[in-house]
Chain A
Amino acid sequence: MKLSSMRYLIKEGFKGAWANRLMSLASIGVLVACMVVIGLAILISENVTMAIGNLEKQNVVMVYMKDYNWALYGDTESEEPESAESTESAENTENTESVDDTSSENAEDTVDENGIKQTDYVIHNEEEAAALCDKISALSNVESVEYISREAGLETVKENMLDGQEEYFTFLDDQYGNPLSDAAKVTMKEMSLFDETIKQIEDIEGVGSIQSYGGLAEKIDAIKQGIYVAGFWIIAILIVISLVIVSNTIRVTMYNRKLEISIMKAVGATDTFVRIPFVIEGVIIGLISALVSEGLIYFCYRVATEKIEVMLGSVVAFGEVAVYLLLVFVAIGIFAGALGSAFMIGKYLKHEGSEFTAI
């Protein structure tokens, strides 16, 4: 096709969009609404991804020990100490308490007022807790281990409470005793070895439970997957709506330009030539919608992030996703505009438009 013809067709496309500006504006409005929803879905998804990334970057885990409180409050049924553990703990007791064998065995078998025997738990004192910390420290991917006694743990909990609430914990402590277990705050070196290291720690005798953000990250990841699936369907439905809207606008333009189409057909214009100005008109509508959507999303995101940032700590900067969003909008705009109009003009040319002598 000649350059002059292309210039002519582009000019006709703009003329069509302008001549039919009310319908074009209505289409742009609906397309913008669709694109803004799509943009918001992308931004939410990006922020969730970042949040998961941040959680996964938390290389600190809390290791709770199998101490008296673990036996008392913890879920120990599934983790009955094995016979070897019993032997080991018996040995430890023997070493630390320096009593004769008979009295030691008696002490192990003695059931206290809570129904707990010494053999029901592994960590009986600070020395054993320190030994456990040493074992964790010995792991290659562990950078540091900080022992946090149950008392220190309770103090931290109280500190983190709001004013007045710490009294409740003081009351609980006074009434029933400290319910927390001894813990070790473990910092890892390499996050890539996170799962492997967690497994190694779990295998160490005396480790009760491990609290990491890995599980939370998995849950949020599941939510993210949900957002992706829902987002996909929302976007698919919105794209179909966009197609219908653009098709209808082009349909109006087409009927307004019935006379021109009939003359074009009469003088020997090809179907492609007849189609191009309408496709250009559709693309113009799509592109304008993309630009308006980008601006609107920028404004909405800026206002929203001012509030959200306080709650979440950090959000994805708009600049990081601006080009990506614009490309998505432009792609949707061109797709909906070109396909919607091509479909409609194709249908017209096949039926009504083929008879140019009777318009």
Chain B
Amino acid sequence: MAEELLEQFATPIVPTEPVIEFRGVSKTYPSGTHALEDVNIRINKGDFVFVVGSSGAGKSTFMKLIMREEKANTGTIMVNGFNLTKMPRKQVPMLRRTMGIVFQDFRLIPTMNVFDNVAFAMYVVGESGREVRREVTDALSKVGLGEKARCMPMQLSGGEQQRVGLARALVNSPDLIIADEPTGNVDPNMSYEIVNLLTEINKRGTTVLMVTHDHNLVRDFKHRVIMLDEGRIVADNAAGGAE
């Protein structure tokens, strides 16, 4: 069944630059859990990919490997030109500066206002004051929160908080956005708004990789879908819209 699906929805080999490439990647945790087994995948520049699968399917490990929070036991992983299997630890920050991460729980600092929460992502990579002001204002207007720059996170709705998280992921102009269930804590209407925003960002050339459990979103947005089950890729639907 899985093989049939793979054959049916196999990603066509296109001569575009890969942003993420897994070759024969396996990951087993010290506890003995086989999280991923022989994963081969290629995500090209400008792709929008949904990663789906049940709990324990290996989605989190898949994302952690891309962010280099975990290291693969076997195989090769290339992300934004970095070879993650050979990369020394001190180069990890450089890899992460090429990607923007959106968390399910927003991860906003409650003592900072919206502007400062977004600016924080620029300060920590050593950007200067004037540039920070310009880029933060720009990122906030992209997510439609230009008017709420001085609000505290607690004054915003779940959807708005996630848009701040999205602005923070965008502010350093990354090549790749990794969104780990960004709609998990927002209502259905807001979920569509978040994915719409991500689609807009994707149209401007940024690759988006989004983990989700929301079948409706996957069905309604016609993006590529990678399905994981028991640590293996069981489906890779380039046309999207179905699981």
Among residues 126 to 149 in chain B, which have CB atoms less than 8 Å away from a CB atom of chain A? Answer: 126-129
Interface flag for A312 (CB, 8 Å) = no
Interface flag for B94 (CB, 8 Å) = yes
Which residues from A are CB-within-8-Å of B129? 4
Q: 30 A-B contacts, Cβ less than 8 Å apart?
A: A2-B126, A4-B127, A4-B128, A4-B129, A5-B126, A5-B127, A260-B109, A260-B120, A262-B107, A263-B121, A265-B96, A266-B96, A266-B101, A266-B103, A266-B107, A267-B96, A267-B101, A267-B124, A267-B125, A267-B168, A268-B95, A268-B96, A268-B172, A270-B90, A270-B93, A273-B124, A355-B69, A357-B60, A357-B64, A357-B180
**Complex formed: what's the CA distance from A266 to B168 in Å?**
11
Interface flag for A1 (CB, 8 Å) = yes
Closest 10 CB pairs of A and B: A268-B97, A268-B96, A269-B124, A267-B121, A268-B93, A4-B128, A5-B126, A266-B101, A270-B93, A264-B124
Which residues from B are CB-within-8-Å of A263? 107, 109, 120-121, 124, 168
Among residues 278 to 303 in chain A, which have CB atoms less than 8 Å away from a CB atom of chain B? Answer: none
Among B93, B97, B107, B121, the residue within 8 A (CB) of A259 is B107
Interface flag for A324 (CB, 8 Å) = no
Interface flag for B217 (CB, 8 Å) = no
Interface flag for B29 (CB, 8 Å) = no
Which residues from A are CB-within-8-Å of B100? 267
Most buried by A among B69, B95, B168, B172: B69
Which A residue's beta carbon lies closest to that of B122? A267
Interface flag for B63 (CB, 8 Å) = yes
Min CB–CB distance B177 → chain A (angstroms): 12
How many inter-chain residue pairs (CB < 8 Å) link A and B? Answer: 68
The answer to whether B125 and A356 have CB atoms under 8 Å apart is no
**Complex formed: what's the CA distance from A259 to B153 in Å?**
14
Among residues 84 to 127 in chain A, which have CB atoms less than 8 Å away from a CB atom of chain B? Answer: none
**Complex formed: what's the CA distance from A270 to B92 in Å?**
8
**Complex formed: what's the CA distance from A4 to B122 in Å?**
11
Interface flag for B67 (CB, 8 Å) = yes
Which residues from A are CB-within-8-Å of B127? 4-5
The answer to whether B109 and A357 have CB atoms under 8 Å apart is no
Interface size counted on chain A using CB atoms at 8 A? 23
Among A269, A270, A354, the residue within 8 A (CB) of B69 is A354
**Complex formed: what's the CA distance from A357 to B102 in Å?**
10
Min CB–CB distance B110 → chain A (angstroms): 8
Which B residue's beta carbon lies closest to that of A269? B124
Min CB–CB distance A11 → chain B (angstroms): 10
Residue ranges of A at the interface with B (Cβ–Cβ < 8 Å): 1-2, 4-5, 8, 259-260, 262-271, 273-274, 354-357
Which residues from B are CB-within-8-Å of A5? 123, 126-128
Min CB–CB distance A41 → chain B (angstroms): 42
Which residues from A are CB-within-8-Å of B101? 266-267
Cβ proximity bits B155-195 to A, threshold 8 Å, 1 near / 0 not:
00000000000001000100000001000000000000000
Min CB–CB distance A138 → chain B (angstroms): 80
The answer to whether B109 and A259 have CB atoms under 8 Å apart is yes
**Complex formed: what's the CA distance from A356 to B121 in Å?**
14
Among residues 177 to 229 in chain B, which have CB atoms less than 8 Å away from a CB atom of chain A? Answer: 180
Among B60, B67, B96, B126, the residue within 8 A (CB) of A1 is B126
The answer to whether A269 and B109 have CB atoms under 8 Å apart is no
**Complex formed: what's the CA distance from A356 to B92 in Å?**
13
**Complex formed: what's the CA distance from A2 to B168 in Å?**
21
Which residues from B are CB-within-8-Å of A271? 90, 93
Which residues from A are CB-within-8-Å of B124? 263-264, 267-269, 273-274
Min CB–CB distance B111 → chain A (angstroms): 8
Which residues from A are CB-within-8-Å of B67? 266, 357
14 new A-B pairs (CB below 8 Å) besides A266-B96, A267-B168, A268-B124? Answer: A2-B128, A5-B127, A5-B128, A8-B123, A259-B107, A263-B124, A266-B101, A267-B96, A268-B95, A271-B90, A273-B126, A274-B124, A355-B69, A357-B69
Which residues from A are CB-within-8-Å of B123? 5, 8
Cβ proximity bits B45-89 to A, threshold 8 Å, 1 near / 0 not:
000000000000000100110010100000000000000000000
Min CB–CB distance A190 → chain B (angstroms): 65
Among B93, B103, B168, the residue within 8 A (CB) of A269 is B93
**Complex formed: what's the CA distance from A1 to B126 in Å?**
7
Most buried by B among A1, A8, A267, A274: A267
The answer to whether B69 and A356 have CB atoms under 8 Å apart is yes
**Complex formed: what's the CA distance from A8 to B120 in Å?**
10
